[in-house]
Homo-oligomer: A and B are copies of this chain.
Amino acid sequence: MPRLRIGLAQVNATVGDLAGNSDKVIEWTMRAAEQGAGVVVFPEMMLTGYPVEDLALRRSFVDASIARLHALAAELAGEGLDGIAVVLGYLDRRTDQQPRVGVPAGAPLDAAAVLHGGRVAIASAKHHLPNYGVFDEYRYFVPGNTLPVFRLTTVSGDAVDIAVAICEDLWQDGGPVAVTRQAGASLLVVPNASPYERNKDDVRLALCRRRAREAGTVLAYANMVGGQDELVFDGDSIVVAPDGTVLARGPQFDEALVLADVDLAAADPLLPAGDQRATASDAVMTIERVELAPLPAPDPGMALGAPMIWPRLDDLAEIYGALVLGTRDYVRKNGFGSVILALSGGIDSALTATIAADALGPDRVHVVLMPSQYSSDHSVTDAEDLVKRQGVHARTVPIKPIFDAFTGSIDVHGLAAENLQARIRGMISMSLSNEEGHLVLATGNKSELATGYSTLYGDSAGGYAPIKDVPKTLVWDLARWRNEQATARGAGAPIPENSITKPPSAELAPGQLDTDSLPDYYLLDPLLDDYVEQDMGAAELVAAGYDPGLVERIIRMVDRAEYKRRQYPPGPKISIKNFGRDRRLPITSRWREPRVG
């Protein structure tokens, strides 16, 4: 059987940076060719970055993507890379004029191209368009209805047929994957931009195995790496054999060139040369074929030896990796050199500071301690302790003089006075950001954001919120894990133990504890998960065993806090339902779950 070395270029593209992303394709194709790969697969929408959202509706942007693709094909040839087949995603448009309402003529396509011999050898568009969760692809794209198959000649002189599908095409039945076997392909390559969620890597592997078996091919799944606003792409690229054997697997959250030597059935010389019709469960697909020019291909040389399989991260390491990458990329891709955050001595800001320091280095992290008359001594000393352990830049700005100036001008009491303190802190962070150029990080966690136990423009102030999608109980788990990581390798624990173990408090009033207003987080977080993430109604929650009074009270708190979440900064998604594009509820709503029990 012919042997082919496949390379999956698991790389970090930046939305809108056509030139930079294009240069990256050249750089990694060069590496793949040097390593003897005959085909290299890049992520979905590699050229434009992903997701581009409404940029897809801008004609100038689509034009630029198409132009860059053609230029790239020529540039690859100019670098002597015309003999390696390069598969990558880009933004295209339909050339036939079939507009739908709201989608103009020449509708955009989430497309993939095969570059070889200095030109675009063949291209196709994603068939299945996700329109749920964080995805709105029916807003932008029309589906493709082809399975492209390119015939490549290996170094040994054998021909192999390679099919291409894109991301969602794997997740739904029918479409291009369903006709891959009939097309006689022995390899199915799939560019992806699949965002991270907890435990998705397990789902992903099972999916790839299932589709490899269905298609009867080796399946090569190349995923993007990197942060883009609230999404984090976790890499985890996979090559799997039709019998389910994992032939290669890339790391999580790091760029890598994942190589695999695969033995493929030779192309069937009796297959029809031109296009073919094939019926999938949901559509009639066209199998389009092209034979690549017999240019000299990179020579794999010696076999790889052991399969390139990076180890999987455990659950907490995975989550932490996503938070760090999301934070690092938001800062970097938006041109910031540093960040600033309020450090209270509590666990949320401690974890946020640690994530920031791990993402950027402590020298680029600035913290502000802003004690009031209600701050306990330990909150200040715990904050100072963290500063010393991590070496971040710190300053202290007591807020009482500012608070007194406010209360000298307006009457505020109770909750209004508490919120004012939180807002003074927010405004100090924002002022220092304006003065010194840092990005402000908000430190709120998911349990607060769910229940509205936060102050709009106070602790919610900032450009990015690293633990926005992290419930309180997970904040504690991550903090403990991070400390254990450090001590296990002989480094100092970055987070003071007291910040982890003390009862949480916003310290906006004397002796205040979170438990004054909220149930214990170990009771609250599962309930929030069932209501927010699982969309369980009151009756279902009571049937599941929660106290009816608690259910009613917590649901009401969550629903009433929608207006606060609507104005919250973006932060990295780790759950199935971040408070971002994943969850779209009206602010104005009189819906109340029916009383139960």
Pick the contact of A457 from B103, B139, B228, B461 — CB < 8 Å?
Answer: B461
Residues in B with CB closer than 8 Å to A49 are: 589
Pick the contact of A138 from B131, B329, B419, B590 — CB < 8 Å?
Answer: B131
Interface membership of A130, Cβ < 8 A: yes
CA distance A63 to B593 in the complex (A): 11
Interface membership of A54, Cβ < 8 A: yes
**Copies of this chain, whole number:** 2
Among A426, A538, A567, residue most surrounded by chain B Cβ atoms (within 10 Å): A567
Interface membership of A524, Cβ < 8 A: no
Interface membership of A151, Cβ < 8 A: no
Binary per-residue interface labels of chain A (164-178) against chain B in the complex, 1 for a CB within 8 Å, 0 otherwise: 000010011000000
CA distance A130 to B435 in the complex (A): 45
- Pairwise interchain contact B588-A228, C-beta atoms closer than 8 A: yes
Closest to A228 in B: B588
Pick the contact of A406 from B131, B139, B427, B434 — CB < 8 Å?
Answer: B427
- Pairwise interchain contact A14-B131, C-beta atoms closer than 8 A: no
- Pairwise interchain contact A60-B540, C-beta atoms closer than 8 A: yes
| A 392-431 contacts with B by CB, 8 A | 397-399, 401-402, 404-406, 408-413, 415-416, 419-420, 423-424, 426-428, 430-431
| A 370-403 contacts with B by CB, 8 A | 397-399, 401-402
CA distance A20 to B138 in the complex (A): 34
Whole-angstrom distance from the CB of A45 to the nearest CB of chain B?
Answer: 12
CA distance A53 to B591 in the complex (A): 12
CA distance A18 to B593 in the complex (A): 11
- Pairwise interchain contact A588-B430, C-beta atoms closer than 8 A: no
A residues with CB within 8 A of B:
14-18, 20, 49, 51-55, 57-61, 63-64, 100-103, 128, 130-133, 135-136, 138-139, 168, 171-172, 227-229, 329-330, 333-334, 397-399, 401-402, 404-406, 408-413, 415-416, 419-420, 423-424, 426-428, 430-432, 434-435, 456-457, 461, 463, 535, 537-540, 563, 566-570, 583-594
Can you report 20 A-B residue pairs in the complex whose CB atoms are below 8 A from each other?
A14-B588, A15-B589, A16-B591, A53-B584, A53-B585, A54-B535, A54-B583, A54-B584, A55-B586, A58-B535, A60-B537, A64-B594, A101-B171, A229-B588, A333-B590, A397-B409, A398-B409, A404-B405, A412-B435, A419-B431
